[in-house]
Amino acid sequence: MFKAHTGSDNKFQTLKEHLENVSELCAGYAIPEFRDYARLCGLLHDLGKYTGSFQKRINGANIQVEHARYGAQEINGKGKGSYLPMVEYCIAGHHSGLHDGGTKADNSDAATLHGLLKREREDCSAYKSEIQFTMPKDSLPSFMRECKTAEDVIELYAFLTRYLFSCLTDADFIDTERFFSPGAERGVHGSFEKALELLTKKLDSYRPTTKLQKARGEIQSQVYRRMRDGADVYFIDMPTGSGKTLCSLKAALETAIREKKKRIIYIIPYVSIIEQTAEVFEGIFGDVLPVLQHHSNYSFDTETNEDESTVEKLKRACENWDADLIVTTNIQFFESLYHYKGSRLRKLHNLADSVIVFDEFHMLPTQYIQPCLRAVGYITKYLNSTALIMSATMPDYSAYMKKYLPGSSVAGAVEDKSLFSAFEKCRYSYVGQKSLEEIAAMAGERGSALVVVNSRKTAKRLFNLCRKDDKVYHLSTHMTPAHRSKVICKIKSRLDAGADVTVISTSLIEAGVDLDFRTVMRENAGLDNVVQAGGRCNREGKMESGDVIVFETGSAYGEVAIKANITRSLFEEYGNITGEDCIKEYYRRLFAWNDELISKNSITEDMLSLKPDAIPFRSYAESFGLIDNETIGILIPDGENDELMNDIETLRQGNLSVKRRLQKYCASVRHYEFKTMLEMGLIEQLPGGVCMLNNPAYYDKDYVGLDLERETNYIL
């Protein structure tokens, strides 16, 4: 009797049962064209557990056994189909992640697919007495032949390999979980139909009175009508303040119901925006359609009237997105497509049969246009999903769509843009170089004013210049999410009351934060930043016109400086910088500047030969910028918050279950700032990799948050 897993009370799962279960689960997850390959992956993935060494280990021997590669080695050379490397990648990497393909010259020490296939192995032929398999006779699906270039073939092959890998790793996890936790419930589900009723009721409750509000309703109606056309990808080009969020959600619900989609995935660039968006969704839907948030700062709190079993289901659902409505980040989403680890990729197969909404798509790094557009194309064309790409400053992606999404059906969701003029509710002016003292003085004269700058350092300096009374507020990611939420509530309350307020913020306020100022002042950056910031000015069109003032501080560098230079020139050339022609020209120049980077950002760029068995999965994933974590979360203790302090003590004792709950009390720092904090002795290392500020004097809980330059009388 060969064992796959052992549990308590001498309970065990047979290897035959595990392989057959995973095989069927894996095939069930896959699209029809890949079911034979998926079934083979599942049946052979743990073939190495038939070795004598592994069976000794599972029965108590203290030995290490490398078992994952055996299935790949067993089929190597037995098939002639071009699918074979795909299956080998998946089986060999199902524990450690997808490997680079390498070359045939790699020796057995190389950590590549070719190297793994050459390693010596123990006899595992005992499997033949329990399972049988046949190699698929056919080659890859016919749609592979639609690719026009060798590069396109490899890109699609790599995507499909990750997809098959997702089916395998999730099936392996689910069957293993069922053995160890047979009572575990999975899935976070609700009713799209009931959710649509509630959302429609809310939208119908709005009574448009201003010209802007009436135009908003008519533009939204265009989107609902157009979304019935059955395209793969829709571009929703709507101005700031036109209600894109709820409009796209209603369009997604209608599409999901009409086309029988399994889930809706709402993708947002900033965690700070996700927190507000999810609150809005939860407020509308309640228990009818639970919202699964998946990002680094989300806290699974039981105080939200969720019983413990629901909380546990949410935690598990985050691993593979087994939920009906998911709100997540660009990073989480594209990790599901371009990572190499099973823990990231296992949710990829659940992107199939979905409606996927990309909010503020233009905010993706320019150099990643190629892989991101390819991903959208593959998911919609081959996995039966529908994508909604939204932006208030939509770039002209037509040339890239033709190049990287050939054959995909693409449509604009807003055909009549004559109503956009109703949203031209602000005067945009460029005032050139100004000192921070001049900016502070201008803001103080404006009643309700929002000042958005490019860096946290500038925001703090400007805030300190403006801070004279309680009408001045600061927002940045140096504040914890819990701190920011409290400040935004205070700002909104003052604005609603018509009181004067000055807000100094970084760009986190530019999208998804529903605040309305008389004046917005924006440090020069990209035109998209300027227009997005302008969306917080005279938002409801209650004034004849608001003012958006663009200034320079001389601190821009790198890509921000390039964008600022383009924006400055457009102010000189165009009378209306928010017009469609001006926005298109901005992106034309920006894309031209980055054209070489866009073209080279392909998994094929460093391949010596464009062959399926040489794909550098791991190397490309490690260089993929959206996967890199640019910041580190620092836990900020607060002696006045008993619940927080109790959770910190629980973590100190080694209970990691509170880690997610603590994340809303974390401020973000750059790597160089983290190094400075280490040198200053300000970091305490807690269990689970959590870093905590050990001196509260360096966190200003009333205003700016984490402040390493703050003078303190504390003795370290």
158-208 pLDDT tens trace: 999 999 999 999 999 999 989 888 877 778 899 999 999 999 999 999 888
Convert the pLDDT of each residue in 81-108 to its tens digit: 788 999 999 999 999 999 999 999 999 9
Same domain, 429 and 496: yes
Convert the pLDDT of each residue in 204-221 to its tens digit: 998 888 888 899 999 999
Distances in whole angstroms, Cα of residue 384 to Cα of each of 125, 284, 375, 495: 40, 28, 13, 45
What is the value of pTM for the model shown?
Answer: 0.87
Same domain, 267 and 349: yes
Per-residue confidence at 511, pLDDT binned at 50, 70, 90?
A: low
Same domain, 700 and 647: yes
Q: Residues 706, 711, 716, CA angle at the centre, nearest 5°?
A: 85
Same domain, 461 and 373: no
Same domain, 452 and 430: yes
Burial of 716: CB neighbours in 10 Å, binned 0-12, 13-18, 19+: exposed
Burial of 169: CB neighbours in 10 Å, binned 0-12, 13-18, 19+: buried
- Give the 3-state secondary structure of 626-695: CCCCCEEEEECCCCCCHHHHHHHHHHHCCCHHHHHHHHHHEEEEEHHHHHHHHHCCCEEEEHHHEEEECC
Average pLDDT over residues 554-568: 89
Same domain, 431 and 336: no
CATH number, domain at 107? 1.10.3210
**What are the φ/ψ torsions at residue 126 (nearest 5 degrees)?**
-60, -20
Same domain, 244 and 393: yes
CATH number, domain at 549? 3.40.50.300
Q: How many domains does the chain have?
A: 4
Distance CA 295, CA 317 (A): 13
Distance CA 530, CA 89 (A): 46
Average pLDDT over residues 58-80: 90
The range of the structural domain enclosing residue 167 comes to: 3-180
Closest CA to 43 of 80, 5, 4: 4
Same domain, 446 and 567: yes
The answer on pLDDT for 247 being more than 50 is yes
Domain boundary among 577, 593, 610: 577
Residues in the chain, overall count: 716
Closest CA to 251 of 296, 283, 219: 219
The whole-number pLDDT of residue 180 equals: 86
Which stretches of 394-437 are assigned E, i.e. beta strand? Answer: 410-412, 426-433
**What is the amino acid identity at position 417?**
K
Domain boundary among 127, 151, 180: 180
Same domain, 640 and 549: no
Which stretches of 553-638 are assigned E, i.e. beta strand? Answer: 631-635
Distance CA 675, CA 199 (A): 47
